[in-house]
Amino acid sequence: MKSERSAVLAQPRQMALQEFPIPAIGDDTFLLKVNLVTICGGDPIEYEGRNVKAHYPMILGHEMVGTIEQIGDTAAQRYGVTVGDRVNVEPYIVCGQCEYCLTGYYQFCLNSKVYGVNLSCEQPPHLWGAYGEYLFGAPGSKVHKIGSSVPDEAAALASVLGNGVRWIRTKARVAFGESVVILGAGAQGLATVIAAHEAGADPIIVIGREANQAKWALATEFGAHQLIDLDQEPDPLRRVRELTGGRLADVVVECTGAEAMMQLGLEVARPTARYIMIGTCGYGRPALITDMIVFKELQVFGGLGQSWDTEAAVKLINARKYPIEKMISHVFPLERADEAIRFFMARPDQAVRVAIKPD
């Protein structure tokens, strides 16, 4: 096989299939045959031209699982995998030498390249995103071996679950029996529910306004104790107070980026609570009552990506404790990649996570 097909985003909202040569693999690189790639909540930012770091034309896709087709000896030794192994590849390609890499924050690598986000497919060897049949594995990748019993749909979400691990374990340091309120029941919120359940949080309360009942059902299946639908509950603060015995939340994780939800997070947090903010609002200026941070002495943490958190996520995925694959609500073939991302953007009432299957 001398060539492959990938879905190329030539310009914002202009996506079409294009052929590329299969690259030669060196001692420290690998070739991944993509089994499945999911559409991240951030992919529409590149699709619509709202990411200043994007370089067009580009191949999107950084939540992936695939099979090692070729691999150099050094890369095989470094990653502990060989031809035929099924793996998840993290989004980041890191230098391993800068201050951030050496202090455990490699998502901020000063020389960072990110699969499917900030690399143009005009740059050889072209295959820098997983919306295609193959991905080129560069030196500095992070590779995780997937168990034989794990569905591709679960394995592709390793970095998503890694985010949940980061918010709950690494950032909030949730202790057994602490109360956690999660704002938003999308993929990030659901991953956070799993991580909170693993940490022994009690109660785990999910608040949202979701027309998609599948998200609510998954939140319960993954371990949420209480669901608060804002379309049904006029006073969510009162309800959280009831569910926590008047204490309010020890930890709040805000996953939506919506102004009203960010403010609600401040309200449901108890004094000295940890508030993890991961939702983004496109550099808008939401009007928040920041006095609540002062008067409650809240500890507010931002959350971006995963760094040394995917290891724990893959271990959990390989254990098959949760049916994580149920988060994939729709699968499209590669030929319909443009339709897939448009559907994901337009139909949150139906889509949880949408995947593209090249084969």
Please report whether residue 309 resides in a domain: no
Q: What's the whole-number average pLDDT of the chain?
A: 96
What's the domain count of the chain? 2
Please report whether residue 308 resides in a domain: no
State pLDDT tens for residues 290-310.
999 999 999 999 999 999 999
Are 287 and 237 in a shared domain? Answer: yes
Are 68 and 169 in a shared domain? Answer: no
| pLDDT at 112 (0 to 100) | 83
Please report whether residue 313 resides in a domain: no
Per-residue pLDDT at 1 exceeds 80: no
| pLDDT at 201 (0 to 100) | 98
Are 43 and 117 in a shared domain? Answer: yes
Please report whether residue 64 resides in a domain: yes
Are 79 and 103 in a shared domain? Answer: yes
CATH number at residue 92: 3.90.180.10
Q: What is the CA radius of gyration of the chain?
A: 20
Are 94 and 181 in a shared domain? Answer: no
Are 296 and 177 in a shared domain? Answer: yes
Are 179 and 206 in a shared domain? Answer: yes
Q: If pLDDT is split at 50, 70 and 90, which confidence band does 6 have? A: very high
State pLDDT tens for residues 7-60.
999 999 999 999 999 999 999 999 999 999 999 999 999 999 988 889 999 999
CB contact burial 320-330 (16+ within 10 A = b; e otherwise) = eebebbbbbbb
Helix (H) or strand (E) holding 238: helix 236-243
Are 235 and 336 in a shared domain? Answer: no
Are 180 and 287 in a shared domain? Answer: yes
Q: How many CB atoms sit inside 10 A of residue 48's CB?
A: 13
Please report whether residue 44 resides in a domain: yes
Are 9 and 57 in contact, with CB atoms under 8 Å apart?
Answer: yes
| pLDDT at 336 (0 to 100) | 98
State pLDDT tens for residues 239-293.
999 999 999 999 999 999 999 999 999 999 999 999 999 998 877 888 999 999 9
Q: Which domain holds residue 103?
A: 3-150+320-357
Please report whether residue 310 resides in a domain: no
